[in-house]
Amino acid sequence: MIDSEQHPYVEMIAREARRPVAVDPAARARIMAAVRAEPLPSRAPRLWERVLQPRSFHLSPAATSLIAAGLVGIGILGGLFAHSANNRDAGSPVGRSPIAVVPHTQLPVTDTVVRFVLVAPKAATVSLVGDFNGWDANRTPMARAAGGDVWTVTLPMTAGRHVYSFVVDGSWSPDPTAPLAPDDGYGHTNSVKIVARGSAL
């Protein structure tokens, strides 16, 4: 006994499925006309069009805060990197120690003024050199006081530790009233001055 004899509905469905279907001869033409009436698909957008297409993003307040903090951190790191690069580029002049060279552009601190004094009665010229003026003997000349024995110069300086020396008639000489700095490795003896914030005249 086959399944169709047990299930007359199945046999009936099978007969209907085998029955040929009459198709309207004009149906094909109507279908093709409908297909032709549809608009052609638009071309796929180019890569740059997809990149430039505006998009909207929705961020939570926490994500916005994290992004803002990250941008601030990047800005701070970039500033520190640029500052350290400027200090490296300023460097020390040839033949001088690279210790504590402060770029000249950072010097003026209006509330910190320092007077350097040297007793040199027989000197014809005296100048001050140090990490605060690039060790340039021509940048900070000293003036002879009215008595003739004392040479002085007053200049603004940044607070902190500075290494310096006097150039007397072309010869380097440490300050006899100040502590000596460690050997600079170039055969010169320098002095140390600790500058505190505020007037140090």
Q: Are 128 and 164 within 8 A, CB to CB?
A: yes
* Model pLDDT, residue 35: 78
pLDDT at 103: 46
Output the pLDDT for position 166.
93
For the chain, state the CA radius of gyration.
45
Q: List, in sequence order, every beta strand (DSSP E) within the chain.
A: 113-119, 126-130, 143-144, 150-156, 160-168, 171-173, 191-195
DSSP-assigned letters across all residues of 26-79: HHHHHHHHHHHHSPPPPPPPPHHHHHHS-------HHHHHHHHHHHHHHHHHHH
Q: Classify domain 104-195 at the CATH class level.
A: mainly beta
Contacts of 132 (CB under 8 A, 6+ apart): 102, 104, 107, 155, 157, 158, 162, 164
Among 193, 188, 197, residue whose Cα is nearest residue 135: 188
pLDDT digits (tens, 9 = 90+) for 168-187: 999 988 998 888 888 766 77
Q: What is the pLDDT along the chain (201 residues), one digit of tens a residue?
A: 455 455 777 788 878 777 777 667 677 778 888 878 877 766 666 776 777 777 666 777 777 777 877 787 788 887 777 766 655 554 444 444 444 444 444 444 456 888 899 998 889 999 999 988 988 989 999 999 877 789 999 988 888 888 999 999 999 889 988 888 887 667 778 889 888 876 555
